[in-house]
Amino acid sequence: PWDLFAGCIDQQIMSGRGRVSDATLVCRENAWKVHGLVAPEVSLADFAASLPLADEMMVVQGLTRHKHADIAESDGVQMIVHFELLREGSQMVHSVQLWGLDGVAPITASFLSYLLSEFRGVANVAAGGARGFGNIAFDSYAPGSDAPPLPGPELYLATVEARRAEMTDWLMAKCDAPAAPQKPAKGRRGARATTESLAEETPL
């Protein structure tokens, strides 16, 4: 997970191997972008003409948020809420990339494979999931041009099982580590006061 996402640890910023794109709606406006992935055997003009416009694929739904005036000391307010949604059956194209100047470790690729399989099992995106919004379905991710296919999740899962205790101890040690001292406040007066306070608390 760290190699894929990275972040900041021990005051060092590290970059991850993962690159995640936005999902692109398959519509007439985006025909130029998704043509090669969705229908490369069809000319771009014919493909674009077969697609609906983006605004034709949108629908607005509304609901009323109740005040609950029957509940004592309720501070809620009643309002009408609108949601802008994609119509059911809309198609989107999405991609992820593994990238690194020094290559990508097989276990990192295996972890991404595990994430994608878990995501496919949940298959829910965006907000409003409690109301049934955002349910999607998708096939397995296909390798891009000249890209090797991802390995299965087995390597990652086996590594986690074999090093479970070691990883748990490392994480718990990080949780128990003392907090880093706060940065001095901006301004001469604030900086001097903070420095003096640290000097009093820090034994020499």
Q: What is the pLDDT of residues 34-90, one digit of tens each?
A: 998 899 999 999 999 999 999 999 988 887 877 777 777 777 677 788 888 888 888
8 Cβ contact list (under 8 Å, min separation 6): 14
Q: What is the pLDDT of residue 157?
A: 95
pLDDT tens profile 5-35: 888 877 888 888 888 888 899 999 999 999 9
Whole-angstrom CA distances from 12 to 9, 15, 115 are 5, 10, 26
Q: What is the pLDDT of residue 131?
A: 74
- Report, as an integer, the average pLDDT of 163-178: 82
Q: What is the pLDDT of residue 127?
A: 75
54 Cβ contact list (under 8 Å, min separation 6): 25, 27, 28, 29, 30
Helix axes 154-162, 106-122, angle to 10 degrees: 110
Q: Structure tokens of 115?
A: 């994430």
* 3-state helix vs strand vs coil in the chain, percent to 5: 40, 15, 45
Which of 104-108, 131-135, 150-154, 178-182 is least confident? Answer: 178-182
Closest CA to 112 of 61, 155, 144, 176: 155
Closest CA to 64 of 50, 49, 76: 76
Q: How confident is the model at residue 187 (pLDDT cuts 50, 70, 90)?
A: low
pLDDT tens profile 52-62: 999 999 988 88
pLDDT at 184 over 70: no
Eight-class DSSP state of 129: G
